[in-house]
């Protein structure tokens, strides 16, 4: 599925990732809880009923969040 050029979505993602990093850096949330938040977001986008476009969008969102988890973008790892 091609990704639309979504400036506001990209900005929101960058802000959220920065907030998660700050929460971890300040000791407010440990890494496992940040990953838990991201996994909850994935779960919210899995198996959503709807038309093909809605299903494809939710699958793409879940995939992107899983890539963020795998890449460690939202937590500082050594």
Name the band, by pLDDT with cuts 50, 70 and 90, for residue 7. confident
Closest by CA position to 69, among listed 27, 29, 20, 25: 20
Q: Which residue has the higher pLDDT, 9 or 3?
A: 9
Radius of gyration of the chain (CA): 14
pTM: 0.80
From the number of C-beta atoms within 10 Å of its C-beta (0-12, 13-18, 19+), residue 54 rates as exposed
Exposure on the CB side of residue 69, measured as CA atoms within 13 A: 17
- pLDDT, tens digit, for every residue of 12-66? 988 999 999 999 999 999 999 999 999 999 999 998 888 889 899 999 999 999 9
Looking at residue 33, its pLDDT comes to 94
């Amino acid at each position: 599925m091609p990704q639309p050029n979504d400036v506001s979505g990209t900005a929101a993602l960058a802000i959220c990732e920065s907030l998660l990093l700050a929460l971890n850096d300040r000791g407010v949330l440990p890494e496992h809880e940040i990953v838990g938040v991201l996994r909850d977001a994935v779960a919210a986008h899995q198996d959503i009923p709807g038309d093909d476009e809605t299903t494809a969008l939710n699958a793409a969102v879940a995939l992107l969040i899983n890539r963020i988890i795998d890449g460690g973008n939202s937590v500082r790892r050594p």
